[in-house]
Amino acid sequence: MAALLTAYGLGVATAVPAPSRVEPAAHDDGLLEEATDRIVTSADPPVSRDELREAAISGMLRSLGDPWARYYPPQEYEDFTGWLNGDHKTVRPEPEIGDVVVDREEKLTVIRVAVFTRGVGSQVRAAAYGSPAVVLDLRGNPGGLLDEAVETASAFLDSGPVVTYERRGEVARVISVTSPGDSRVPVVVLVDKGTASAAEIVAGSLRDRDRAVIVGSTTFGKGTVQEPVRLSDGSAVELTVGRYLTPAGHNLEGVGIEPDITADSSDAERRGRAVLDGLTGS
């Protein structure tokens, strides 16, 4: 068959078959698998089908324009879900000191929450019980499980809404306090630009319900909810499926939470303690 020679770039040429009236036969498994077959049999250097399929999935997710959509290979997804559920901690390389660290003092309790993994909400509730005042430190907390955030906020509320969840194609759902908490203990929440997602749900809920003074710097501003969809080989795609609103109806996406008292990270805890001294008359 005659061929055309097309040149482009610098000294690069490729042989392109001349136009033909013969149409290629349709691939039994569709265009994507046809392209996979051709690339696997012809590409140099060689590439595997699994590599191509992962690249195709990642490309589809990028086309959504969603910064939170991502693909998890099977082992990575297993590690990630195990970490969230507290089964094992292989995702984070640094030594674990616990996702909730509690410092009890005579006049207050400082509760530092690193991330909202399984069981964190009940730990916060137990740590706050009987304390004369609470500093809830959410600085650098990137989020985690929505239900653990709701349980954490519930530890300081007696009833009512914690967050509104708007999922695509469904009626908005108001998620309320799981069980009555201590609605009288003075609370300061420490935040910074690393406070995101589920951590913002807690801070936003307590602020809107007039249950906490927010101290620190503006939070990250993530107001969307992601959900993983498991694929047949054990991998998963994580997609944005909805958004959340604070009890006062604020969408934090790209905005974040402005603190009641601005303080840099090195001074936030001191400022928070001063606020509690004023609230408790210490």
Residues with catalytic function: 197, 208, 222
Whole-number Å distance between alpha carbons of 236 and 233:
9
Q: Is 232 exposed, middle or buried (0-12, 13-18, 19+ CB in 10 A)?
A: exposed
Residue 17: φ, ψ to 5°: -55, 140
C-alpha distances (whole Å) from 130 to each of 5, 36, 122 are 82, 62, 14
In angstroms, the Cα distances linking 11 to 2, 7, 14, 267 are: 22, 7, 10, 62
Phi first, then psi: give them for residue 69, nearest 5 degrees: -70, 135
Torsion of CA 91, 233, 147, 254, to 10 degrees: 70
Question: Quick one: CA dihedral 273, 276, 278, 280, positive or negative?
Answer: negative
Work out the burial of residue 176: count CB atoms within 10 Å of its CB; fewer than 13 is exposed, 13-18 middle, 19 or more buried: middle
